[in-house]
Structure 1
Amino acid sequence: MVSGKEKLIVAIDTDEYEKAVELIDSLENSVEIYKVGLENYISSRGKTVDYLKSKGKKIFLDLKFHDIPNTMKSAVKAAVKDGVWLMTIHVSDMEGMRQCALAAKEEAERLGIERPLIVGVTVLTSLSDSDLSDIGCSLSTEETAIKRAKLAKEAGLDGVVCSAREVSKIVKACGDDFITVCPGIRPKTAEVGDQKRVVTPSDAIKNGATVLVVGRPITKAEKPNKAADEIVKEIESVIK
């Protein structure tokens, strides 16, 4: 059976490298996969990625590349050299996504390392239907996420980032082998914060999520390791 640790990613959302190190150390025996996003990557100049590698942890580099195809391709190649396990780009034009997928494969082969997984961001979990309407999108968050997931698969990406509220329909549309990374995960006792489309860990797994991204419910807890252990147990209670 797959362990709960293999399905939990902890988001390191701090602009202080020392605090990131303290958090990683406090979760030493509870967490194997960590997300390094824009805030921490820029403020630490990538040092947190190096620290995680020194600890033998898996790295989810969440920089959400979104630019012209050539720039995105170059960024992906640079991330491959960092030895990350998973990285994000935005679901955008087909050519750009195809070039990113190909660049990851070719650069990993050139370096003789395992190819990192590339997932496309569909709709940020902080956005609602009205938010999409405000920027000229006529589809709902669910419809947009499903449409973009299909495009990502067609372009050769390994999966997508999506709300666990849409994940069951994305799995149905794209298949069980298409990775679904679900942020906006909140245990029933946690505050929602700035997220608008939240789901509990057990419900997300039941809906078909491959991996869950959890930030503040763990990182802001009085005892982060205890909070992580409880979420792992909740995940394992529903793993088939």
Structure 2
Amino acid sequence: MINGKEKLIVAIDTDDFDKAKELIDQLEDSVDIFKVGLEQYVATKGRTVEYLREKGKKVFLDLKFHDIPNTMKSAVKAAIKDNVWMMTIHVSDFEGMRQCAEIAKQEAERLNIEKPIIVGVTVLTSLSNEDLQDIGCNMTTEELAIKRAKLAKKSGIDGVVCSAKEVDKIVEACGKDFVTVCPGIRPQSAAVGDQKRVVTPAQAIQNGAHYMVVGRPITQDENPKQSAIDIVKEIENA
């Protein structure tokens, strides 16, 4: 049987540290993994990461590093000191990703800690085929995501962030052990918001997702804890 708590990542997307603490405290019995993104990390200067570690929770540090290879490598090296469970970079050039994978292993060994999972963002779930055309890309979101996933695997990083709409194709192309993290997850009762490529938790699991990220349907619900419990059940019943 699938353990839903091991699949669910809750996004703490707020610029208020006290609000973040309140949400974490409300969810600590029903959620094991929390995502700290750019907004929260910058606004609180990383305090939320420290608080989650104090609570014994897994931290998904979602800062999406994207720069020249040496800068990405240095950023990954610095982030590893926070002893996070997973972190994101953008799928960029092969060499940049290769260096990130290499430094992650070396730095974790030097610090004698578990190496974080490094996943590359393929195509943001807020983007549509039309959006890609606007920036000069003639591929569909699915075609581009699969192409980038293959490059990410070749570089040596652990997996990718992708829409659950194309995760089955990525699993087929890159193998079941290649980690897939899917944002844009919405229970059927939830609003889509600014996401354009969304699926339900059950569909994400059926399509082969290892992990799914859920934010507003939980954090903005009147009862975040119950909402998380319901999604965990939906995952387990997929």
TM tier relative to shorter chain: over 0.9
In structure 2, the partner of 1:203 is 203
In structure 2, the partner of 1:112 is 112
In structure 2, the partner of 1:66 is 66
In structure 2, the partner of 1:102 is 102
In structure 2, the partner of 1:192 is 192
Amino acid at match of 1:217: P
- Deviations along 1:24-52, one digit per CA (max 9) or x if unpaired, are 00001000000000000000000000000
Q: CA deviation at 1:133?
A: 0.4
- Mapped partners of 2:155, 2:70: distance in 1: 16
- Mapped partners of 1:72, 1:28: distance in 2: 32
In structure 1, the partner of 2:155 is 155
In structure 2, the partner of 1:170 is 170
- Deviations along 1:160-209, one digit per CA (max 9) or x if unpaired, are 00000000000000000000000000000000000000000000000000
- Mapped partners of 1:191, 1:235: distance in 2: 19
Unaligned 5+ residue runs, structure 2?
A: none
Unaligned 5+ residue runs, structure 1?
A: none
**Paired residues, what number?**
238
In structure 1, the partner of 2:88 is 88
Aligned: 1:131 with 2:140: no
In structure 2, the partner of 1:51 is 51
- Mapped partners of 1:227, 1:30: distance in 2: 10
- Tell me the TM-score normalised to structure 1 length: 0.99
| Moved segments of 4+, more than 2 Å | none
Amino acid at match of 1:53: R
- Deviations along 1:198-234, one digit per CA (max 9) or x if unpaired, are 0000000000000000000000000000000000000
Q: CA deviation at 1:3?
A: 1.0
- The secondary structure found in structure 2 opposite 1:88 is strand
- Mapped partners of 1:78, 1:12: distance in 2: 22
- Mapped partners of 1:3, 1:174: distance in 2: 24
- Mapped partners of 1:148, 1:95: distance in 2: 13
Q: CA deviation at 1:2?
A: 3.9
In structure 1, the partner of 2:6 is 6
Q: Is the 8 A contact 2:128 2:141 kept in 1?
A: yes
- Mapped partners of 1:157, 1:131: distance in 2: 27
- The secondary structure found in structure 2 opposite 1:130 is helix
Say which is worse superposed, 117-126 or 1-10, in terms of deviation: 1-10
Please tell me the root mean square deviation across aligned C-alpha atoms, in Å.
Answer: 0.5
Amino acid at match of 2:169: K
In structure 1, the partner of 2:233 is 233
Amino acid at match of 1:208: G
- Mapped partners of 2:102, 2:77: distance in 1: 10
- Mapped partners of 1:178, 1:79: distance in 2: 22
Amino acid at match of 2:134: D
- Mapped partners of 2:2, 2:9: distance in 1: 15
- The secondary structure found in structure 2 opposite 1:95 is helix
Q: Percent identity?
A: 73
Amino acid at match of 2:177: D
- The secondary structure found in structure 1 opposite 2:42 is helix
- Mapped partners of 1:77, 1:17: distance in 2: 25
Amino acid at match of 1:175: G
Q: Is the 8 A contact 2:2 2:235 kept in 1?
A: no
Amino acid at match of 1:222: E
Amino acid at match of 1:58: K
